[in-house]
Structure 1
Amino acid sequence: MPAPAISFPGGTSVSLLDVYDDVAPDGLRGGSPHLHLASTECYVVIGGRGALHTVDAHGASEIALAEGSVVWFTPGTIHRAVNHGDLRVLVLMSNAGLPEAGDAVMTFPADIVADPGRYAAAATLPAGSENERADAAARRRNLAVEGYLSIRKAVDAGDFGPLREFQAAAAAIIEHRASSWTDIVEQGPAAQAARSLDVARALSRGEFAHLEDAAVYRAAEPAGERRFGMCGRLRPYDVREPAGRR
């Protein structure tokens, strides 16, 4: 049998998200619309209320969110978290480590997304005080909302061309760094899936030696300040390498 699995189930990552509550140019409160190129994201709502706005090849949708809601969306789905009051979410992301490696692209206006240099400048938050970074995060969000509204207006009118163009531009932005992502997938979810298959095969033969490796692990509470993420203030848990048994 392979070495015992100690990472979080499925090779996923876990973060606490307090969705932004300041007002965007269209009057809604919430985060920066964006998509993920390779990872599926899941929202488990733990407090407050809001909505998940999405755009994909099937059209635009708005899903109400309240405590206990569970909703997930696959790569290529443009999504926007809207805060109707104290919206707090537990976020599960597939391919732990890959989203942090640049899996997401925000829906800035088409001329910015078409230029990787301009995109990077618009997406990067500058160093500075918390208030300065909060202001920069709001400007970044507002720019993403501008591009999102253009795409959604076209989709609502039955024109999916701007959506496809954005997805193509997003793929071009991450192309230069995607070559390293195969290692993340192989060492994370693929390794866990391979171990699960080995366990199932062993059990079918009446073998159960892996049960001797049974253990309980607990992630430490997130430390440090909350990050300015795309959708809100983030506090990631470190679940990939727990310190030991608890």
Structure 2
Amino acid sequence: MVTPGTVSLPHPLPGAVGLSHLSAYEWEAADGVCGGSPHLHLVCTEAYVVTGGTGAVQTLSPDGYRDIPLRAGSVAWFTPGTVHRMVQGGGLRITVLMQNSGLPEAGDAVFTFPPEVLADPDRYAAAAALPTGAPDAEVADAARRRRDLAVQGYLPLRAALQAGDNGPYREFQRTAARLVADRVPTWRALWRAGALAAAERTGEQLAALEAGDPGYLADATAHDAAPSREGGYGMCGRRDEYAVPGTTLHTTEA
């Protein structure tokens, strides 16, 4: 549990972004499409940098439904409130850049489960959770059930939006906001320790340079990291993670 005011992100990535690598799920869903679990983020913009293979990302937003092709070298990004679903074409491999110090790992992500699940916070939490310490096959089954439930709720949202009715989509956004409202103090602490602190450091450095004092450069150093877990079960696919606070491990407590 993150306690506001105790968060420490000592060596964040540039801009305090989150970072992971994904291989999109190859499981076929009810509509015949292979891929991940549709969901949205409330305060984070997310970017896909495609490093291999082909596929797509399906998005729902106030400007309608889009099916954005993905191939090696392409980049797609989407702002808070955009429902997105990663689609596997063949060997799709993506590096994910996430705004705000990995806030989705602290709960800034809501699956497009059916309305009756979204209406019950306990039922939602149970459906969203994956078993810990379980055999890989058991975790995979749970991740696939979670994906299927998210697709079940997503397809009516997409159909309504394609028909010109954004009411169900907007109601999903409102429900998602209610589900996560109690997490805001934790998110604010992470944002202050990560993205805000990084921006403020830049301001301090600019002021120092303007004053002719480059003394902060004496603290220059380099860092490196390798994935601490490979092939974990993420929302969109198998995920390689980094145990670096603010990357995919979202925090340490001071």
Q: 2:13 aligns with which of 5, 8, 32?
A: 8
Counterpart amino acid of 1:175? A
Instruction: Give the counterpart of 1:82 among 71, 81, 87.
Output: 87
1:41/1:72 contact within 8 Å kept: yes
For 2:173, the aligned partner's letter is Q
Question: Which residue identity does 2:239 align to in structure 1?
Answer: L
The structural deviation recorded for 1:237 is 1.8
The equivalent residue for 1:105 is 110
Unmatched 5+ stretches in structure 1:
none
Check conservation: 1:8, 1:240, Cα contact below 8 A. Answer: no
Q: 2:124 and 2:46 mapped to 1: Cα distance?
A: 23
TM-superposed CA distance for 1:225, in Å, is: 4.7
* Structure 2 unaligned regions, length at least 5: 1-9, 248-254
Q: Name the structure 2 match of 1:208.
A: 214
**1:226 paired residue number:** 231
Give the alignment partner of residue 243 of structure 2, picking from 201, 224, 238.
238
Aligned ranges 1:73-222 → 2 under 5 Å: 73-127=78-132, 128-219=134-225, 221-222=226-227
CA shift, 1:47, in A, is 0.8
Distance 1:241 1:131 in 2: 29
The one-letter code of the counterpart of 1:164 is R
Question: 1-side partners of 2:83 and 2:61: how far apart?
Answer: 6
Q: Distance in 1 between matches of 2:44 and 2:99?
A: 5
In 2, Cα distance between equivalents of 1:225 and 1:66: 22
Q: Distance in 2 between matches of 1:136 and 1:225?
A: 18
Displacement of 1:130 in angstroms is: 1.0
Q: Deviations over 1:5-25 (max 9, x none)?
A: 732111111111111011011
Alignment of 1:4-83 (within 5 A): 6-83=11-88
Displacement, 1:212? 1.8
- Per-residue CA deviations over 1:110-156 (Å, capped at 9, x if unaligned) read 11111111111211123432112111111111111111110010011
Q: 1:226–1:215: structure 2 CA closer, same or farther, 3 Å change rule?
A: same
Query: Does the 8 Å contact 2:22/2:240 carry over to 1?
Result: yes
CA distance in 2, matches of 1:64, 1:225: 26
Give the residue type in structure 2 aligned to 1:163: Y
Residues 38 and 130 of structure 1, relative CA distance in 2, 3 Å threshold:
same
In the TM superposition, residue 62 of structure 1 has moved relative to its aligned partner by 0.9
More displaced 10-residue stretch of structure 1: 226-235 or 78-87: 226-235
Question: Does structure 1 conserve the Cα–Cα contact (< 8 Å) formed by 2:18 and 2:246?
Answer: no
Please tell me whether the aligned partners of residues 22 and 93 of structure 2 are also in contact (alpha carbons under 8 angstroms): yes
Distance 1:119 1:56 in 2: 22
Cα pair 1:202 1:208 within 8 Å, conserved: yes
Number of residue pairs matched? 237
Q: Partner amino acid for 1:123?
A: A
